[in-house]
Amino acid sequence: QVQLVESGGGLVQAGGSLRLSCAASGSIFSINAMGWYRQAPGKQRELVVVITRGPRTNYADSVKGRFTISRDNAKNTVYLQMNSLKPEDTAVYYCKADVLSRGSGSYNDYWGQGTQVTVSS
């Protein structure tokens, strides 16, 4: 089994910063892409940013220039540095990883439980 655990969410004023972390653990042989998604109340879950092992990154236009993703492959961990936060960034942030488990013949997506980010105006 594979588990993803996020941390670092919270309440911050507009213009502030937060750093999210997501650590993957369990029976992991390899991780391909890792990414962050978010879901605001009443809205669909949307991509924030994804990073490959390359690493190559793909950011949503709404966060370009404000958010930065990074990963530590040795620790199976991905980070999201969020600066210049806006009230519209308020959402539950989810981590996703594309994982090849030990003994498995294919990659599968795993999700974290989510962490709340609230930006006050």
Structure confidence by residue, pLDDT tens digits, 39-75: 999 999 999 999 998 899 999 999 999 999 999 999 9
Cis peptide before 55 (omega within 30 of 0): yes
Q: Across residues 77-86, what is the average pLDDT?
A: 98
- Looking at the chain, the number of H-run helices and the number of E-run strands are 0, 11
The pair of three-digit structure tokens given for residue 11, joined into one six-digit string = 């309440």
CA dist 7 and 53 (Å) reads 22
Q: Using one digit for the tens of pLDDT, what is the confidence trace for 6-44?
A: 999 999 999 999 999 999 999 999 999 999 999 999 999
What is the rounded distance in angstroms from the CA atom of residue 57 to the CA atom of residue 33? 9
Sorting pLDDT into bands at 50, 70 and 90, what band is 104? confident
Query: Rounded mean pLDDT of 83-88?
Result: 98
Helices (H), 23-89: none
- pLDDT at residue 105 above 90? no
